[in-house]
A and B are shown apart, each in its own frame.
Chain A
């Protein structure tokens, strides 16, 4: 906006008064002029109207004069007689005798007509051409009778205008119309007529004009005045006042017979009137102007003196105020209103002073807060340019206000470290400009290069109409919180990871028994996700552990750890074991508890296996300790029996010799002994001794690796041997007749020799065959179909030996424990319970083979032995460790 040029008040007042007074004077002058002209015009108009009336009277009286004279002529008896006698000479004489005292009304045209309307005599002045008139008599006569008219007679190239009258010539005796008299003065160049009009109307000049042609004039015909009047009467409307060229003029029209254009009689008055008027006007104007100037001057003087002085005082006062003076300073002047203003200004200064003090105080406080606050605060204009920033913000980046003022916030040093963040700030500001409160997290790099996390917001400041006028950016340094948050997040994650990586089910519960924590193992085990589980109660989330809520209650109440070991959970067909531990969470008060569930099924199984191994080992240890003590007496027993057998045999020569000495013979002794069953008894002693030795030997298997001798063996032969041994087994015979069992041998011819300990393997086969037979013995009703199926098969680098029976089979539990030492399903005395375990030991430990059972109740049992073909290097040794 263009600033107006300042003007001094006095100049303004002077100019204002000058212009207004000038305009007033001009108005007054214009008005005076107008009214004067109007008055003169009115006066002149009135005067000319009177004059025009006079002109009309003059014309009328002229006509009357003409008629009167014609009538006088007609009444003359001598004339009448002459007319009657049609004597033109006498008529002419008579007419000549008549005098015409007034030249202006002289009968320039005079015609005598007879009764029939024919021209008797033309007595017109010889100066005028009348031939044309006589030809137009018919038209003239009738309207002219007893009345006068201005008549124009048109000639080629000329027009003659005349005032014409007509009267009847009446016989003074009979009263008979003898004829008519027609005549009147010609107006063309009739100076006396014009003079008469001028004289009677008392004007400067009078002119008669018809159709632009000057008919007659009182003035000299070829003068400027005459030409002016002719011009006016030709081109202007009638009965109006024309002024100019030293004269005032006006004309009126008279209708003319035999012409369409009227006769105009124009009168002119002297221009002197106008000169007088102008003089008086000038005098009035001069007086008025003088008066105006006087008034203006006086006004200016008064204004300057009174108002200027007061304004000056006020200005001085205001100058004082603006220069910072704070006490009352106005000197009262003469004008009440100005005094009031001055005093009001003083009062205002005082209240301003107080307000200022408050404001100063308030601003000081505000700045203390604004600058010292920990927050980052600023002020932006609508475009996002920085108007204000607090000291904290500036200190953070080590800048002064001058470095950032007026810059766009996103281009300031707070965000130069990261264009992406700067762009986000820009977007936030553009959002705020739409009237929204925007809050984002951003970063600021401080003067030392350290990155701060800032909770940044922009708030629009609204005016009372709700328009955004300013933007208030704010920032809070949340680096610390961020760090702590991150640490907490990491810690939480770590804890969660720890909890999740635990192989135990870990469940947190609050004091109401609701789930607060549910680790991954818990999810995997239950199929319930942590989200589903949290907030639910234990009896619903872990229904397999009905006693758990009780344990939790107990732990919470006693503040002690509650342990329940080997809690059995039956699922499907298997029993599973869990250790349940409830830890109360106690800081100063009870917050809840943690439930830990560990499945220990495998551990328990392992423990059982270990117990078995332990059993075997302790059995081995026992056997090792006992073996010497038992083997010695056994050796004594067996050896002595063998010596006895030797010494009762006939083939020993010494026996014969001693028998002879005793007076008998070996034959007799043998005979006796056979009869008494002594040989059988010795065999039984030997067999029993050997069995005892075998048990010890079996037991010793567990104590140490046998010093087994590996040889390439034909497994078919070993099996055959085992079958023979089985059928000869004394214990077995009491259960079942082995020979009645159907033995199916499925021995392919291409089975290679296998490296093995023949004694060990034979023991294994025998054990397995005995087991099969014993199993078959358990179902006496099926004895007819009892079958043992022996299969040999070559598998890659192994030989597979299967011994299958169609006995009652084993249940899962039995199958599991079948290889435990001393585990037996048979009544005491019918089995040692070592058979399978020893076999298992021999095959797996000594031969690096495998042995397992395949069985199901009612379908019999298959024991499958696999021996590696590339076994231990066979070392042929004779007769060592044999039995």
Chain B
């Protein structure tokens, strides 16, 4: 944990969003929370330090996919982790071009959230 990463958590469900943020913070990340895609984008515009985003797909307004595409357009360096409750989610071509691969897709609920934290660190270039 030599670096301090800033992770944007985009999820419309408070208990999940906050608990995830808490867990990440406990694990040494800095976190910013957004309850919708639109708010997430606003935050992204204001915070150039954000390195990665954990994105739910089903969101009010723009969905997670739209957010990823817009965010990627805005900040191409940001890495994305998809964390969705949809069981039938598949990656679209555009999302894959935004740098998301299947290994970065997680389905809720995760028995152990450290799986997710390890994945964030991996996409940010840290080695386990």
Contacts and interface: CB of A to CB of B under 8 A. Distances in A.
Contacts of A880: 102-103, 105
B87 interface: yes
Contact of B107 (A633, A642, A879, A881): A881
A704 B89 CA distance: 11
Among A635, A654, A879, A882, max chain B CB count under 10 A is at: A635
A227 to B, nearest CB: 184
Given A624-B87, A628-B58, A632-B85, A639 B115 contact: no
Contacts of B15: 633, 636-637, 639-640
Contacts of A689: 109
Nearest to B15: A636
Given A638-B111, A639-B23, A632 B87 contact: no
Interface string B80-115: 000001111000000000000011010111111101
B19 interface: yes
A877 B87 contact: no
Contact of A643 (B19, B105, B108): B19
Interface string A673-698: 00000000000001001100100000
B87 A627 contact: yes
Contact of B115 (A631, A877, A879): A879
Given A628-B58, A632-B16, A639-B16, A883 B22 contact: no
Contacts of B26: 643, 646-647, 652, 654
A632 B26 CA distance: 22
A275 to B, nearest CB: 181
B13 interface: yes
A636 B109 CA distance: 8
Interface in B4-48: 13, 15-16, 19-20, 22-23, 26
A686 B87 CA distance: 20
A638 B110 contact: yes
Contacts of B108: 631-632, 634-635
Interface in A610-643: 623-624, 627-629, 631-640, 642-643
Nearest to A628: B85
Contacts of A623: 87
B103 A639 contact: no
Nearest to A625: B87
A409 B75 CA distance: 116
Nearest to A883: B111
A878 interface: yes
Nearest to B23: A643
A703 interface: yes
A425 interface: no
Contacts of B86: 627-628
A878 B109 contact: no
Interface in B60-90: 85-88
Task: Kindly state the interface size class of chain B when it binds its partner.
Answer: 20 to 34
A230 interface: no
A704 B88 CA distance: 8
B69 to A, nearest CB: 22
B115 A635 contact: no
B110 A878 contact: no
Contacts of B19: 636, 639-640, 642-643
B87 A635 contact: no
B20 A631 contact: no
A632 B108 CA distance: 6
Residue with the highest number of chain A CB atoms closer than 10 Å, among B58, B108, B112: B108
Interface residues of A, number: 35
Interface string A687-720: 0011001000000100110000000000000000
A709 B111 CA distance: 18
Contacts, number: 86
A628 B119 CA distance: 22
A642 to B, nearest CB: 5
Nearest to A638: B109
A633 B14 CA distance: 10
Nearest to B102: A880
A627 B85 contact: yes
A642 B85 contact: no
Nearest to A642: B113
Given A640-B15, A646-B26, A631 B110 contact: no
Interface in A832-883: 877-883
Contacts of A628: 58, 85-87
Interface string A639-659: 110110011000010100000
A402 to B, nearest CB: 101
Nearest to A877: B103
B85 A690 contact: no
Residue of B20, B26, B118 with most partner-chain A CB within 10 A: B26
A610 B27 CA distance: 51
Nearest to A690: B111
A700 B111 contact: no
Nearest to A649: B26
B60 to A, nearest CB: 13
A881 B111 CA distance: 11
B22 A882 contact: no
A693 B119 CA distance: 21
A631 B87 contact: yes
Given A631-B109, A880-B102, A642 B87 contact: no
Given A627-B85, A631-B107, A881-B107, A636 B16 contact: yes
A880 B101 CA distance: 11
A700 B102 contact: no
Interface in A359-413: none
Contacts of B110: 635, 638-639
B102 A636 contact: no
Given A628-B58, A879-B115, A639 B85 contact: no
Interface string A448-466: 0000000000000000000
A404 B54 CA distance: 115
A704 to B, nearest CB: 6
Nearest to B22: A643
A636 B107 contact: no
**Which among B19, B58, B115 has the greatest number of chain A C-beta atoms within 10 A?**
B19
B85 A882 contact: no
A629 to B, nearest CB: 8
A692 to B, nearest CB: 9
Contacts of B58: 628
Nearest to A879: B115
Contacts of A635: 16, 85, 108-110
B105 to A, nearest CB: 8
A771 to B, nearest CB: 24
A545 B7 CA distance: 77
A482 B102 CA distance: 81
Contacts of B118: 879
Contacts of A632: 13, 16, 85, 108
Interface of B: 13, 15-16, 19-20, 22-23, 26, 58, 85-88, 102-103, 105, 107-113, 115, 118-119
CB-CB nearest 5 A-B residue pairs? A636-B15, A635-B109, A635-B108, A639-B19, A628-B85
Given A628-B87, A636-B13, A639-B23, 4 more contacts: A639-B109, A639-B113, A693-B111, A704-B87
13 contacts: A624-B87, A627-B85, A631-B109, A635-B108, A637-B15, A638-B111, A639-B109, A647-B26, A654-B26, A689-B109, A693-B111, A703-B87, A879-B115
